[in-house]
Amino acid sequence: MFDASSSSAIRAQFRLNYPGFALDVDLDLPGRGVTALFGPSGSGKTTALRCVAGLVRAPSSRLIVGDEVWQDEATGVFLPTYRRPLGMVFQDASLFPHLTVHGNLNYGMKRAGVTPAEAGFDVILTLLGIDGLRCRMPGTLSGGERQRVAVARALLTRPRLLLMDEPLAALDLKRKLEILPYLERLRDELDIPILYVSHSPDEVARLADYLVLMENGRIAASGPLSETLARVDLPAAFADDAGVVLDVVVAVHEEDGLTRLNFGGGQILVSHRAENIGQKLRCRIHARDVSLAIDRHTDTSILNVFQAEVIAFAETDTPGHVLVRLNLHDGSALLARITERSRRQLGISSGSKIWAQVKAVALLGS
């Protein structure tokens, strides 16, 4: 594990008023892993991140990272951006076009006043797969390569906190898929917290450990990823992407072209996967891909069927539809989106024992 710095829990309170927009957030965030700030455009994600960076000074605010107070307006403390030990990565990699990759990386270390050994230069280049790019000019790199260099430059300053604002938004799908495995490695191997702003549900589901849902400048919900996604009481803005994320392990490659995945609540069958037995993956199951039945059916093409208990209901933004929270035997959650008519015809209520039929499973990588 690459120890870029000591782990630091984050206490963030920001209140800011603009004409037509107000930011009001109060958060306690974990000191390791990826915390995703997720929400629609204009929800305040980037503004909150800029407050953390010190690029926006919000009155009546407080920011503590570990044991360091970066901002406390009540006592007059405000560290400007250049004095905050953080790294920042934006949509645009913003590499110096006249410097090689090595020159860009060296610039970051010089500004931070650290040596390559202190910054973990070789470890970071290996972690991000850019060791072979040292002599290249930025203009010869792909979009994904440029972003990986930008991430490396940010890490070489030995930050206590890494901020990433829509780092994949400017990339096409091919380049996004190229860089995502490297971001997963950062999540798993870095000992510093990462704040990751995104409006992409798939990115968040694949990368995040902790989720903050924002709407109209406020926190709609926050908590560990799997727990937060399984809530049925979230605002309508998030209903279209309702679903859960499960951590699974590749168990068996079966002879008929399927792969069996194990998780706490049972087994999932998917089309053949190339990963080795024992490989950890994440899968996403959308509420719209889960149907419900009172009895278990064998005359169906759906392979993934689980016995579950109905825990809660909530209305959606689509008239005549409801969101159903289900628990499997181990407490793992599923969500199902069904019509109110179906709910009445099935006669299900809180506490009902039913069968959940999973029509589609999206594998999200390791």
- HEC-encoded secondary structure of 157-179: CCCCEEEEECCCCCCCHHHHHHH
Q: How far apart are CA 122 and CA 109, in angstroms?
A: 13
- Domains of the chain and CATH, by start: 10-229 (3.40.50.300), 243-365 (2.40.50.100)
Question: Looking at residue 92, what is its pLDDT?
Answer: 87
The structure tokens listed for 9 are 């829990």
**Nearest of 215, 211, 191, 192 to residue 203 by alpha carbon:** 211
CB-CB contact of 228 with 65 (8 Å): no
Question: Looking at residue 237, what is its pLDDT?
Answer: 61
Question: Looking at residue 366, what is its pLDDT?
Answer: 58
Q: Is 232 left (phi over 0), alpha (psi -120 to 50) or beta?
A: alpha
The whole-number mean pLDDT for each consecutive block of 10 residues of the chain, a chain of 366 residues, reads 55 94 95 94 94 93 95 95 93 91 90 85 92 94 93 92 93 89 90 93 93 95 93 75 92 94 94 92 94 92 95 88 94 94 94 95 80
Question: Looking at residue 87, what is its pLDDT?
Answer: 93
Q: How far apart are CA 156 and CA 110, in angstroms?
A: 9
Question: Looking at residue 79, what is its pLDDT?
Answer: 96
Which residues are bridge partners to 221 per DSSP? Answer: 213
- For the chain, what's the residue count? 366
Q: How far apart are CA 292 and CA 294, in angstroms?
A: 7
Q: In what order do the strands lie in the sheet with 280-286?
A: 266-271, 258-263, 243-253, 280-286, 362-365
List, in order, residues 6 or more apart from 75 with CB less than 8 Å away: none
